[in-house]
Copies of this chain bind each other. A is one copy, B any other.
Amino acid sequence: MNRSPRKEREWKEREARILEVARRLLMEHGYLGLKMDQIAAEMEYSKGTIYQHFSSKEDVIMELAAQTIEKRLELMARASEYKGRPRERIAALGVAVELFVRRFADYFRVEQIIRADSIREKAAQERQEKLTACELRCMGIVSGIVRDGIAAGDLTLPEFLTPEQLTFGMWSLSFGGSSIIVTGQLGELGVEEPFQAIINNIQMLLDGLNWKPLSYETDYPQTMERIAEEMFSDLLDDARTP
Contact = CB atoms under 8 A, between A and B. Distances in A.
Interface of A: 28-33, 112-113, 115-119, 132, 135-136, 139, 158, 160-162, 164-177, 179-180, 183, 185-186, 188-194, 196-198, 200-201, 203-209
Contacts of A171: 176, 180
Contact of A116 (B116, B203, B208): B116
Grouping DSSP codes into helix (H, G, I), strand (E, B) and loop, the A interface class, with mixed when no group exceeds half, is helix
Nearest to A221: B160
15 contacts: A116-B116, A116-B183, A135-B185, A135-B189, A168-B177, A169-B197, A171-B180, A172-B173, A172-B180, A172-B198, A175-B176, A175-B180, A204-B205, A206-B208, A208-B209
A117 B32 CA distance: 8
Given A31-B117, A112-B116, A208-B204, A136 B188 contact: yes
B166 A201 contact: yes
A191 to B, nearest CB: 5
